[in-house]
Amino acid sequence: MSSKPVAFLLADLGVTKTHSRPHVSDDNPYSESQFRTMKYRPEFPARFGCIQDSRAFSQGFFHWYNEEHRHAGLGLLTPAMVHYNQTALILEQRQTVLDAAYRVHPERFVRQAPKPAAVPTEVWINKPLNSNEITH
């Protein structure tokens, strides 16, 4: 994507170049992860027949990805649950279920009573070395 003809073609098509940092190939891991998830869905076609087919697939996929798919990096919550601040209630409900399971069969839990996975408090692609580097 660094050749001048491609850059000119993108400009002619009205495509804005990315503003990733120079010589850094991993500025986009979240998008790459999402694209991998998309391509490995069983309903992902080998080829889309037309733009309308791709749009229809994408609408269904993004609804599933945001509303139904539980992300390991989010403590097995959906992005919608986190976005709409439902995490406390859901984790409380999970803890109730885990406590009941522990009371009935404590031998299944070797080290301690189970706890639901924690939700990360912050997420970084490239974490600054110190707080002075954070710009808002």
Query: pLDDT digit string (tens) for 27-83?
Result: 577 777 888 899 999 999 999 999 999 999 999 999 999 999 999 889 999 999 999
Cβ atoms of residues 30 and 125 within 8 Å: yes
Residue 79 CA to residue 64 CA, distance in Å, equals 10
Answering whether pTM is above 0.75, one says no
* pLDDT score at 124: 72
CA atoms within 13 A on the CB side of 102: 14
